[in-house]
């Protein structure tokens, strides 16, 4: 079975034409897709068309099987895919617009020492439609429509490395920003990478003006390699060169994410090294106090250390903010909810029955 949400408007038009249906049915089909409706809800489509297409295409690609609400208004979704795999995402309301964090892979192969997403490795890539499906269903669940979206911003910071699933992510960006789709501007989309410098340059060449966010997490190769295995292939110098290239092509300021890890990268020496490294670059630093993941054992730092680290950067002229932490009470860190679900009695019982 194919996924209808994988198709662009042009591809929907071609499908309708090939199947012998009137041209105007393409707009009705696209409206169904954007509203995250299943075949049974499409009352404006002829029965013959639904019966024919539903034999070949899923109308929706993801389904929310669990939802957790945080005290701060955040909502964490556990999505089931058609093949039985599960992924997760977080809906974060803000006064400037509501943001959805989406996953791009089932699992991850980057092997970062602080992240729950990579526990168990990479299972598979998500298709463009499966990434889009997360946005569409969250928009619907929060009362949004194509005309008045509940999801106004998207961050590709969930499970997986977006640039390790490059082709599907590029198509997703086209689908989610399509005027015939949910029409979220690329400027309201942030893409986070662990540092695949070659793919950063490929992304720059597309001219898609997303906000590039790079997981730096250390100011020296020695420190970064301990935290992130990807640094052994793409070191900091190579990574910064790719960020400069991205700026030259898009004129968009890039962001370095920096998770403060106790005993690893959070001391004053590291702050000064980071300031020296980034001096004069058109960048912003987003400090993160690490979410604790029991399987990894690494811890965040006390708030006074976050403040001190921030002061060092500011004194050296580095633009910096501390990320507002949302969803901590619902295991907001990437991969935590999926791990918990996979280890649950109900899931294991279900797998045994299969």
In contact, 73 and 334? CB cutoff 8 Å: no
Query: What's 1-60's CATH class?
Result: mainly alpha
Query: Is residue 333 predicted with pLDDT exceeding 80?
Result: no
Query: Is residue 237 predicted with pLDDT exceeding 90?
Result: yes
Residue range 226-242: mean pLDDT, rounded:
97
Which of 67-76, 101-110, 153-162 has the least mean pLDDT?
Answer: 67-76
pLDDT at 335 (0 to 100): 58
Give domain limits for the chain: 1-60, 61-353
In contact, 283 and 320? CB cutoff 8 Å: no
Supply the pTM of this predicted model: 0.92
In whole angstroms, how far apart are CA 217 and each of 51, 183, 271?
52, 33, 11
pLDDT at 340 (0 to 100): 66
Confidence class of residue 349 from pLDDT cuts 50, 70 and 90? very low
The pLDDT tens digits for 302-328 are: 888 999 999 999 999 999 999 765 555
In contact, 298 and 115? CB cutoff 8 Å: no
Q: What architecture is domain 61-353?
A: Alpha-Beta Barrel (3.20)
Residue with tokens 């649950």: 344
For the four alpha carbons of 210, 215, 220 and 224, in that order, the dihedral sign comes to: negative
In contact, 288 and 218? CB cutoff 8 Å: no
Confidence class of residue 116 from pLDDT cuts 50, 70 and 90? confident
pLDDT at 341 (0 to 100): 67
Catalytic amino acids?
A: 88, 334
pLDDT at 114 (0 to 100): 82
Query: Is residue 297 predicted with pLDDT exceeding 90?
Result: no
pLDDT at 338 (0 to 100): 63
Query: Is residue 26 predicted with pLDDT exceeding 60?
Result: yes
HSE on the CB side for 254, CA within 13 Å? Answer: 29
Residue 147 φ then ψ, to 5°: -80, -35
Q: What is the mean pLDDT of the chain?
A: 91
The pLDDT tens digits for 146-176 are: 999 999 999 999 999 999 999 999 999 999 9
């Amino acid at each position: 079975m194919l996924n209808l949400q994988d198709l662009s408007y042009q591809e929907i038009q071609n499908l309708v034409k090939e199947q012998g249906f009137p041209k105007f049915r393409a707009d009705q089909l696209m409206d169904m897709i954007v509203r995250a409706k299943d075949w049974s809800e499409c009352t404006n489509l002829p029965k013959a068309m639904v019966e024919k297409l539903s034999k070949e295409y899923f109308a929706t690609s993801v389904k929310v099987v669990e939802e957790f609400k945080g005290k701060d208004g955040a909502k964490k979704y556990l999505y089931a895919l058609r093949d039985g795999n599960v992924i997760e995402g977080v809906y974060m309301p803000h006064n400037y617009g509501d943001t959805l964090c989406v996953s791009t892979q089932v699992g991850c192969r980057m092997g970062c020492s602080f992240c729950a997403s990579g526990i168990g490795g990479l299972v598979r890539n998500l298709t463009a439609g499966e990434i889009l499906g997360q946005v569409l269903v969250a928009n619907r669940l929060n009362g949004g429509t194509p005309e008045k979206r509940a999801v106004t911003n998207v961050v590709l910071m969930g499970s997986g490395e977006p640039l390790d699933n490059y082709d599907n992510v590029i198509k997703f960006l086209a689908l989610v920003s399509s005027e015939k789709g949910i029409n979220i501007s690329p400027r309201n989309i942030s893409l986070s990478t662990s540092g695949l410098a070659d793919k950063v340059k490929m992304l720059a060449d597309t001219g898609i003006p997303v906000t590039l966010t790079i997981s730096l997490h250390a100011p020296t190769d020695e420190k970064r390699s301990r935290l992130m295995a990807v640094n052994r292939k793409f070191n900091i110098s190579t990574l910064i060169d790719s960020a400069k290239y991205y700026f030259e092509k898009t004129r968009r300021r890039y962001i370095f994410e920096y998770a403060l890890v106790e005993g690893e990268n959070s001391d004053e020496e590291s702050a000064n090294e980071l300031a020296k490294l980034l001096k004069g670059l058109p960048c912003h630093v987003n400090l993160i106090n690490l979410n604790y993941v029991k399987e990894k054992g690494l811890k965040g730092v006390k708030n006074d250390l976050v403040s001190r680290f921030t002061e060092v950067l500011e004194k050296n002229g580095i633009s910096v903010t501390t990320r507002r932490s949302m969803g901590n009470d619902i295991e907001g860190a990437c991969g935590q909810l999926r791990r918990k679900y996979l280890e649950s009695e109900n899931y294991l019982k279900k797998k045994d029955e299969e």
